[in-house]
Homo-oligomer: A and B are copies of this chain.
Amino acid sequence: MIPSVAISNQRKVFPDATSALQGLLSDGITVMSGGFGLCGIPENLLLALRDSSVKNLTIISNNAGIDDVGLGMLLKTRQVKKMISSYVGENKEFERQYLAGELQIEFNPQGTLAERIRAGGAGIYGFYTRTGAGTSVAEGKESRIVNGQTYILEMGLTADVAIVKAWRGDTEGNLIYRKTARNFNPVMATAARVTVAEVEELVPAGSFDPDHIHTPGIYVQRLIQGTHYTKQIEQRTVRPRS
């Protein structure tokens, strides 16, 4: 058993988003980006990704942001060649580029997208699911019928880089998410060659109850404390106080 010394893995911590992405980006790479709508998106890393001017990106993300916000920024600057998503509404620039044939889109059912990413991270080559059987999603895919149910074969999905957002992180890369801002972030953290995380609060290793950690540090190669979170709400819906 190892002696109980705890050398903190400070090498994982970077001063800002730009330095955290240094050396990871080149034209044509595939990037996974966490978040559901604008909830739980890596705001700082997306800005740095835009400012890097890297081009021809394939972006794996459930949504495409809205105009000028989140991935919408990278669409505006024409850095995206292809999106792999489940839903891309609420984005006029996306629509314009798509209809002009400037942008490719591969739609995946949301659960299939999440499971393909999990499979990619978990060393699963592919899996059989009922989702999409009998629809256009099944076209060109292998299938098999078992007890009258049709299952289609979906493949694991990986990326060169994943950018994810957590609520709190420690210097070891352990991450804890908050409420529905968790969404695609933990599964994307497992599925890229390099995962870069941003957190609202960076704390020393040992701050977390080990039973509460959502993403173990092994999945996070670099992390930063983010700044200036806007956390824009897409549909502010309230009820009257009675």
Contacts and interface: CB of A to CB of B under 8 A. Distances in A.
Interface of A: 1, 115, 119, 122-130, 144, 146, 149, 151, 176-179, 182, 210-212, 214, 239
A211 B130 CA distance: 30
Contacts of A176: 211
Given A115-B122, A125-B129, A125-B146, 5 more contacts: A123-B130, A124-B127, A124-B129, A125-B130, A176-B211
Contact of A128 (B127, B182, B214): B127
A1 B239 contact: yes
Contact of A125 (B119, B151, B211, B212): B151
Contacts of A129: 123-125
A214 B214 CA distance: 10
Q: Which 6 residue pairs of A and B lie closest in terms of their CB atoms, listed nearest first?
A: A125-B128, A127-B127, A125-B151, A124-B127, A126-B128, A212-B212
Nearest to A3: B239
A128 B126 CA distance: 5
Contacts of A146: 125
A129 B210 CA distance: 29
Contacts of A124: 115, 127-129
Contacts of A178: 211
Contacts of A128: 124-127
A211 B177 contact: yes
Nearest to A131: B123
Nearest to A176: B211
27 contacts: A1-B239, A115-B122, A115-B124, A119-B127, A123-B130, A124-B128, A124-B129, A125-B127, A125-B128, A125-B129, A125-B130, A125-B144, A125-B146, A125-B149, A125-B151, A126-B127, A126-B128, A126-B151, A127-B127, A176-B211, A177-B211, A178-B211, A179-B210, A179-B211, A211-B212, A211-B214, A212-B212
